[in-house]
């Protein structure tokens, strides 16, 4: 089987539409059509899952084709309308992929020593990274105490931020997308960085989850949010002090 399955930068396992076509025996163009229909009915943006792949062409050439890379939940949803044999083939493939991600245990004393040395090196690298990020981590502890705040209310506390541009900027960065006039969290970040909730008035709002509010702090400190004219982000220490004073 061709290596059609990939891992994204967040180590999320996905399955290519070409591999789905190969496993189910369906033509790839029909699988693409099925995926577009499914994403449309789920209210998902097709661009969030779209990619390209290089495939062999005539006379030893190579051509570029469109593919979709789907996480497990959307893959299972897609093939739920297929026949039993197709569903079984996809299920077996997911089990193989997930087994490949399981940690490999050492089979000899030498391998165990190498693994121990690698783990010690990783621990030291992590310690150095944590030291470098200490001011940001302190800010994260402060902001993490604020639960269920909308993104606008949460980021609006940061000095100099243009509050009216917060959701537009998060959309441009690929965290949100706008559907029927309402901002919605892109599926890859839904309930991981942000979540859609309803306000007391019944309006759909984007909430900054407690566990990952630090992402918004990072975006602010790195200058990736839109600031008011004449303003620039304050330091991590200044931001921590301001939030502590509230």
Which structural domain range is residue 49 located in? 15-101
The pLDDT confidence band at residue 105, using thresholds 50, 70 and 90, is low
Is 126 a domain residue? no
Tell me, yes or no, whether 144 and 237 share the same domain. Answer: yes
**pLDDT band, very low/low/confident/very high, at 61 (cuts 50, 70, 90):** confident
- Report whether pLDDT(166) > 80: yes
Q: What is the DSSP string of the chain?
A: ------B-TT--B-EEHHHHHHHHT--HHHHHHHHHHHHHHHT--GGGTEEEEEEE-GGG-EEEEEEEEE-HHHHHHHHTTS-HHHHHHHHHHHHHHHHHHSPPPP-SHHHHHHHHHHHHHHHHHHHHHHHHTHHHHHHHHHHTT--SEEHHHHHTTSTTB-GGGHHHHHHHTTSEEEETTEEEE-TTTBTTTEEEEE-TTS-EEEEE-GGGTHHHHHHHHTT-SPBPTT--PPPHHHHHHHHHH-
Please give the mean pLDDT across all residues of the chain.
77
**Residues 238 and 153 placed together within one structural domain of the fold:** yes
pLDDT for 8 equals 39
pLDDT of residue 60: 78
Indicate the residue among 79, 101, 123 that finishes a domain: 101
Residues 87 and 34 in one domain: yes
Unique residue bearing structure tokens 């303003």: 231
7 domain residue, yes or no? no
Domain end call among 86, 101, 116: 101
Q: How far apart are CA 58 and CA 28, in angstroms?
A: 18
Give the separation between CA 50 and CA 69, rounded to whole angstroms: 7
Task: Tell which wins on pLDDT, 82 or 179.
Answer: 82
Residue 110 located in a structural domain: no
Total domain count for the chain? 2
Mean of the pLDDT values across residues 112-130? 70
**49 vs 1, which has greater pLDDT?**
49
Residue 34's pLDDT is 92
Q: Do 23 and 66 sit in the same domain of this protein?
A: yes
- Tell me the whole-structure pTM to 2 decimals: 0.42
Distance CA 165, CA 168 (A): 5
Please tell me the least confidently modeled range out of 6-15, 165-174, 195-204.
Answer: 6-15
Residue 170 lies in a domain: yes
In a domain, 39, yes or no: yes
80 band by pLDDT with thresholds 50, 70 and 90? confident
Give bridge partners of residue 157 from the DSSP assignment: none
């Amino acid at each position: 089987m061709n290596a059609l399955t990939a891992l994204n930068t967040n180590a999320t396992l996905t399955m290519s539409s070409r591999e789905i076509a190969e496993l189910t025996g369906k033509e790839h163009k029909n699988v693409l059509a099925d995926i577009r229909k499914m994403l449309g009915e789920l209210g998902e943006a097709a661009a969030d899952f779209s990619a390209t792949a290089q495939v062999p062409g005539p006379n030893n050439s190579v051509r570029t084709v469109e593919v979709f890379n789907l996480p497990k939940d959307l893959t299972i949803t897609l093939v739920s309308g297929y026949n039993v044999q197709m569903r079984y083939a996809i299920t077996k493939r997911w089990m193989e992929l997930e087994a490949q991600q399981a940690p490999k245990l050492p089979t000899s004393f030498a391998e165990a020593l190498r693994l121990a040395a690698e783990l010690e090196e990783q621990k030291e690298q992590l310690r150095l990274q944590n030291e470098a990020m200490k001011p940001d981590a302190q800010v994260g502890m402060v902001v993490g105490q604020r639960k269920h705040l909308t993104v606008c209310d949460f980021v609006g506390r940061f000095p100099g931020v243009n509050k009216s541009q917060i959701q537009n900027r998060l959309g441009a960065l690929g965290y949100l997308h706008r559907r029927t006039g309402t901002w919605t969290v892109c599926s890859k970040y839904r309930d991981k960085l942000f979540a859609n909730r309803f306000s007391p008035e019944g309006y759909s709002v984007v909430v900054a989850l407690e566990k990952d509010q630090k992402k918004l702090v990072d975006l602010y400190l790195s200058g990736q949010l839109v600031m008011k004219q004449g303003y620039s982000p304050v330091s991590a220490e200044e931001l921590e002090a301001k939030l502590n004073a509230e």
